[in-house]
Structure formats: C-alpha cells, structure tokens
Structure 1
Amino acid sequence: MGSAWWSGVTDLAQRYGPWAVIAGGSEGVGAAFAHQLADAGINLLLIARNAATLAGVSAEITAAHTVHVRTAVIDLAADDMADKVAASTSDIDVGLLVYNAGAASGPQLVIDQSPDEIMRLIRLNTIGQTLLARHFGQSMAAQGRGGIILLGSMGANAGCMQLAVYSAVKAYTLTFAEGLWAELHPLGIDVAALMIGRTRTPALERSEYGQDSGIPAAEPDDIARFALANLGAGPVLVPPELEAAFLALRAMPRRQAVETMTRALAPQTRR
C-alpha cells in the first residue's frame, strides 16, 4: 500500500512519529494499524500477551518496510503493566498510542461470569487505557504534538444482554476519550475513541466460537485507515456506515436503546 491513501495530515510521521505504541498489536485491527503506520515510516512497539503472534507481525513488517519494530510481551491486565510499558519505551520518542485491547470474551450473563473474567475486562478497558494515556500523554504534552486512539465499540451506546460488562467498559472508553480530548487537544494532541461495530478479526472468531452470525463485518484495514485519516476530527470517530445507528441509539430513551441493542445483537450473542 502506498501513502496516497493519507489525506488528513500532510506528513503522518511528522505529526505522530517517530514511534507508535500499539497495545494489542499482534492481530486484527492492531496489526492493521501496525502495517499502515509502518507504511507511513513510523517505528513501532507492539504489545500483546502472545509472543508467537507478535513475532509473526513483526517479521511481516520488517520484511516489507525499513522501520524499526520492537515487541513487548506484556499482559495489559496485570498490575505492573504500566511500569513494564514505561520501561520498554524509556529510550524512544512516542508520538502515537493506539490502545486496541479489550475485546469481549464471549456472550455470557453477568451472574455466570467468573470474577476473574469480569475484572480482566474492567482492567483492560478502563485501568489499562487510562494509565497508558496518562503516561504517554505527559510526554506528548511536553512536545505539543501527538495522538491517542482508544478502541471503542458501538456497544458503548447501550447495555446489552449477555454483554453487560463489555458494553459498560466500552462506555467508559467513549466518555474517557471525550474528557481526555478536552484536556489534551488544546495542547496539540489529537485524541479519539474509535467506535467500531462487528469487525472481521480473530477475536470475533473466538467470541463467536467459530460460528457465523450472518451479521456483516468490517475489514480491519478499512477501520485502521479510517481512524488514521480522521484522527484530528476527534473526540469520537464513527465510520460512515455506522453513523446513523450511532446517532439513533444515542437519542433513544434508555429502555428502547437497551432493547434495540439486545435485539440487534441476538444473532451474535446466541451461542
């Protein structure tokens, strides 16, 4: 892919380089961001738990581009996560954070979920992104430039049966990004919650247990391209094909929104 797709900022590397950190960069949307940022000449630190998939993405990128690629095997839900990420980036200038972690583990009633599973979702989607946004936001503010992308979800618009914890933590992502934008945008930093719907990723495959719900899915490359081309238009980025649904759900009475969300996702949440 060439650089002609970039139309929002004349020089992506100048605005958001020289390094980008992608938390959850081993597959799916995170890997798509990695390839597109490397295409723009930005060096990468990819973070994930799975060393093998991280190594695979790193090898693909270094084979196709001249950028530097580092990997860090870190559990983003661990108590010492922020310290480990800070240590891994202490000698590089990070101009972009993409927080791509936090996919649902699968449809399940709250009363049937284990406490560990619930707390992992909460840590990934609230604590992890907050601490990393704080850490990298400090250095970006000192330089007067940078960008932060937090991966949100259309599920943030209403609670949903069998996805109650997931929709709740994604609502945090949306509101946190809005507040963070209000704080950092005046300092020259672009912040956005990227509100995506069903996307064709390995995480989706795992959450649906290999079943095809029949609901159309977006492609990770398209999602990443849209986000990078529109990052300056934050604090909330909604792909055009989802905008009408996003606005409708936000305007509905809450019970109607919950019932609509639960009904719409029934094919996806049905095991």
Structure 2
Amino acid sequence: MRKSEMFRQRYGRWVLIIGGSDGLGADFARDITRRGLNCVLIARRLPVLEALAADLRAETGMEIRTASIDVAQSDAVDRLAALVDDIDLGLVVFNAGADSSGSTFLGSPLSMWQDIVRRNVNVLTDGLYHFADRFVRQRRGGLLIVGSAAAFGGGARASIYTATKGFGLNLGESLWAELKPHGVDVLTLCFLVGDTPVLRSALARNAIPVEAVGAASTIDLARAALDALPDGPMLNFDEDLAAPNPLTSAAARREHVLEVSAGLEHFYGAPDPARA
C-alpha cells in the first residue's frame, strides 16, 4: 500500500490547519493535499488564504475550505468546531502562535503577552480537548502541534514564547500517552529555526540574511512532521545537529513519558473507562 493511501486510511478525508495561510502552514497544506486529503485552512488574512486555496485546487484537485478566524478570540474553538462539524475530519494541525518581537517581558504591554498566552495555551487547550474527544469517539485521528526548540528552556527576550511552547510540548506528550490506546496520534514538532515569512521579517529589521541563521525549509519540516505523526510524541527536527541530550532527544523523551505515565497510573489507579 502506498504511503498516501495509508495516510488517508489513518486520518480520513479532511484536515484542519490552524494558521494555514503561508510559511509552514501553507506547506502543510501542500503536502497534505498531495497525499490526497482535503483541507480546511484557518488564519486571519482571508485574501491570502483564498489565494493559497485556489493554487491548491488547481494543483491537486482537492477540496479546500477557508475561513478568517482570529484564534486569540474567546469563541475561536466554537467557530472552528462548527466549521468542520459536517466533514470526515481526521487530523488537526495547530500552527498558530509565533512571536518574533524579541521584546523583554517588561518591554511590551501585558496585552501583547496575554494574546500569545491565549493562542498558545488557552486556545490550544480548548482545541485539543474538543478534537481529542471527537477523535476518541471515532477511534481514529491525529493532533499535530507545531512547537519549537524554545520549549526546551527559557531565555531573555523570549520569556512568554518559551513558556507557552513548553506548555504545549508537555501537554502534547501527555496526550500522546493518554490517547494512543484510543487510536489517536499526537505529535509535537520542535525545531530551531524555520524559513518562514515571520522569520524573514524579523531578520530584515537587523539586515541579517536568512542564510546566516541556518533556517530549515518549511517544506522539509512539514514532510518530516507528517511522516513522524504515527510515532510521537515529539519530533526534534534538529536533533542530529547537537550532542546527545535526554532533554531534546525524541526517543529519550518518549521513554520518560512512558515511565512517568506508568508511575502515575500506579499512584492514582486505573482511570474510569467511562471517562478515559
């Protein structure tokens, strides 16, 4: 059986991409439609979404839906759920929540940090809860969280970003352990730098060429994450570039999650099957 056919069998006919207008989100859409799945693309800039959707329809013949939704808003997940209620949805890609300000914590208004927290914590939590429940009931699905190597530790001028990405990584790893027995795959993609429009804009402010930072191709990032999705719980795209480290090793983190999960189940007892 071809890889694309196996992918369709595992994840159904439709994929929801949150943050799917350009950069990595757009390359997720391109790769997914080439595998024979339809896409629902969500972002704030509807004209950019519609241009990408037109290209994808012409290139692949797949169905594409678009909607302008600001995922920092309190009703974002309700709107997302309504948008995909009538389709055979089997995969959700959470790709919103970048921060390229480089600001110190006190160097920006609290409202800016609160927006990032809403996108990277509140909406991620709400979205994972809704779609995990849906996929568990259908006994099939995948949840792909676009994270960052920033999740591995904090640093000056990246306080809220590193904190929220750490939250997403730990939540994703925990859900991988909980949802795998129900046929639901969970993967968090971590990488150092991706060649995105957001990155290029940030570098341009200081006249730094993108070649100087060793940014990974978003085409390669999307393909690697989709291929690794059944394995979980974390893919460190740049793992081979550094010395072995249990903090950043996908295999070591997987073993840690399994060890912690087994210990907690012994401590708390088996979960109620009706609520698992």
Distance change in 2, residues 1:116/1:249 (3 Å): farther
Q: Distance in 1 between matches of 2:180 and 2:240?
A: 23
String of CA shifts for 1:241-267, please: whole Å, max 9, x gaps: 33454853828xxxxxxxxxxxxxxxx
1:134 to 129, 136, 145: 129
8 Å contact kept, 1:157–1:246: no
The superposition leaves residues 5-47 of structure 1 with CA deviations (integer Å, 9 ceiling, x where unpaired) of x4xx751111112110000000111100101110111111000
Sort the Cα spacing of 1:191 and 1:215 in 2 relative to 1 into closer, same or farther, 3 A. Answer: same
Equivalent of 1:45, from 40, 43, 50? 40
CA distance in 2, matches of 1:91, 1:188: 21
Looking at structure 2, the residues matched to 234 and 161 of structure 1 have their Cα atoms a distance apart, in angstroms, of 30
Structure-2 separation of matches of 1:247 and 1:224: 24
- Match of residue 182 from structure 1: 177
1:168 aligned partner:
163
Residue 77 of structure 1 is matched in structure 2 by 72
- Kindly provide the amino acid, as one letter, of the partner of residue 242 in structure 1: E
SS of the equivalent of 2:173 reads helix
> With CA pairs under 8 Å and 6+ residues apart, which has the higher RCO, 1 or 2?
1
In the superposition, relative to structure 1, how do residues 55 and 246 fare at CA in structure 2: closer, same or farther (>3 Å)? farther
| CA distance in structure 2 between the partners assigned to 1:80 and 1:221 by the alignment | 31
Aligned length: 245
Could you say which residue in structure 2 is the equivalent of 1:255? Answer: none
Cα-to-partner distance string for 1:46-66 (whole Å, 9 max, x where unaligned):
000011111111011011112
Cα pair 2:148 2:165 within 8 Å, conserved: yes
Please give the secondary structure, in 1, of the residue aligned with 2:230. helix
TM-score normalised over the length of structure 2: 0.84
Task: Name the structure 2 match of 1:119.
Answer: 114
Give the alignment's Cα RMSD to 1 decimal: 1.9
Q: TM-score, normalised by structure 1?
A: 0.85
**Match of 1:21?**
16
Residue by residue, what CA displacement relative to the aligned partner does 1:163-182 show, whole Å, maximum 9, x if unpaired? 11111110011101011111
**In the TM superposition, what is the alpha-carbon distance from 1:238 to its structure 2 partner?**
1.1
- Aligned partners of 2:144 and 2:186 also within 8 Å: yes
CA contact (8 A) 1:197 1:242 kept: no
Q: Which runs of 5+ in 1 are unaligned?
A: 252-271
